[in-house]
Amino acid sequence: MTDRQVPVTREGLERLRSELDDLKKIRRPAIVAAIAEARSHGDLRENAGYDAAKHDQAMTEKRIADLDTLLRQAVVIETNAGGSVDRVQIGSTVVVDVEGDEERFTIVGAIEAKPAQGLISNESPVGQALLGMRPGDEAVAAAPHGETRLRVLRIER
């Protein structure tokens, strides 16, 4: 990963810290125990349990390293939790008319994005289109199936 600043909401930062803590305190020791158990079965050349545990260990250590880097680069974006704001920003929850359907999105940093849960990245086409908009503003965003028309109905925070 590069040494760039990564925008993140306070909630997102806490989720990342919690995940890192779980990986270090729960997952890592469990994998060490699984490796020890697999080793106790003898020959490691054809030991599927050992191979699986070593694979899990590599994946877990990679995620720990990635999270350590992300947390060093994270810059908390302060949001207005007191209610409505006048412009969409990172951390805003915005209700949008998307071609006749009302959708609710929260604009987050790229590392927090979970589109299926309504958390969209500030770097995504829809996130970029919404940033800086006010209620009543309209925009067009690129989408996999073509362009999508958006109209901001309200900003909740």
Q: What percent of the chain has pLDDT over 90?
A: 64
Residue type, 66: D
- CATH topology for the 6-76 domain: Helix Hairpins (1.10.287)
Q: Which range (41-45, 90-94, 148-152) has the least confidence?
A: 41-45
Q: What pLDDT is recorded for position 81?
A: 55
In this predicted structure, the answer to whether residue 48 has a pLDDT above a threshold of 60 is yes
Q: Does domain 93-155 have CATH number 3.40.50.2000?
A: no
Q: What pLDDT is recorded for position 143?
A: 80
Q: Give which of 87, 101, 99 is closest to 130, Cα–Cα.
A: 87
Contact call for residues 138 and 149 (beta carbons, < 8 A): yes
Tell me, yes or no, if the two domains 6-76 and 93-155 fold the same way: no
pLDDT in tens, 68-121: 999 999 999 876 555 557 899 988 999 999 989 999 999 999 889 999 999 999
Per-domain boundaries in the chain: 6-76, 93-155
